[in-house]
Amino acid sequence: MHEETSAGTRVVLVGRPNVGKSTLFNRVAGSRRAIVAPVAGTTRDVMRHPVEWLGTEFVLVDTGGVFGASADPLQAAVAERGLREVGTAAVIVVLVDAREGLVPADEEVVREARRAGAPMVLAINKVDDRRAGAGAAEFERLAVSPALSIAAEHGLGVGDLLDAVVARLPGRGRRPADSTSTPTGDEREDREVGIAIVGRPNVGKSSLIHPLARK
């Protein structure tokens, strides 16, 4: 049974160009719907894909590089549509590039995203080598919490990111258990058994969960 979160609930990816939004979108969507290329402005349209994670449904939205002025009318139109999506977001995922480090454009993205008033999660992408990982601490200046290190291209940390996103969606409060009734033997047999997989970030929890979830 799904938690009571509408399938139209939007989780919107934002960030300056080429920080890996489309790569993350494709990773979560399980397909290469969004074009990935090392060219600014490659994402020319707002992409959406329904996602289910931990029994919760939402729509993942890839906005492209939506902030900042553009002389290209087509890119300006894409930016306008993207900003509208940001305004409807239940959760905003701000992506930054650990390899390039913190730049003023990242701070601009965060300032604009805050105006939407939705909970934010910071995804520090491309943390797939020691040099990039060592520089991740500088993003604390953005004051976005939680801040999670990921490598979208390889799936590293993506499960932890989705956990954080789902925890911030509306309707995710745990239902109180009914302690006034005792289940019968048949009811106990019909109950689903929950198994929790725990561990510190990036130890492979999601890599274990995905094969099991497909069965």
pLDDT, residue 136, reads: 79
- The tokens of 10 are what? 């939007």
| Both structure tokens of 167 | 């925890």
CA angle 120, 128, 32 (to 5 degrees): 70
* CATH 2.120.10.90 for the 10-167 domain, yes or no: no
| Model confidence pTM above 0.75 | no
pLDDT at 198: 62
The DSSP call for residue 138 is: G
Question: Given CA atoms 14, 15, 17, 21 in this order, what sign does their dihedral have?
Answer: negative
> 57: Cβ–Cβ under 8 A, 6 or more apart, which residues?
2, 5, 6, 7, 9, 50, 51
Closest residue by Cα to residue 13 from 67, 55, 68, 71: 67
- pLDDT score at 79: 67
Residue ranges of alpha helices (H) inside 43-184 are 73-87, 104-114, 130-134, 158-167
How much is the pLDDT for 133? 64
Mean pLDDT by 10 residues, the chain (215 residues): 57 93 93 49 70 94 68 63 87 95 93 94 89 77 96 95 97 47 50 58 63 53
* Domain residue extents for the chain: 10-167
Cα four-point dihedral sign 140, 143, 145, 151:
negative
At residue 52, the pLDDT reads 94
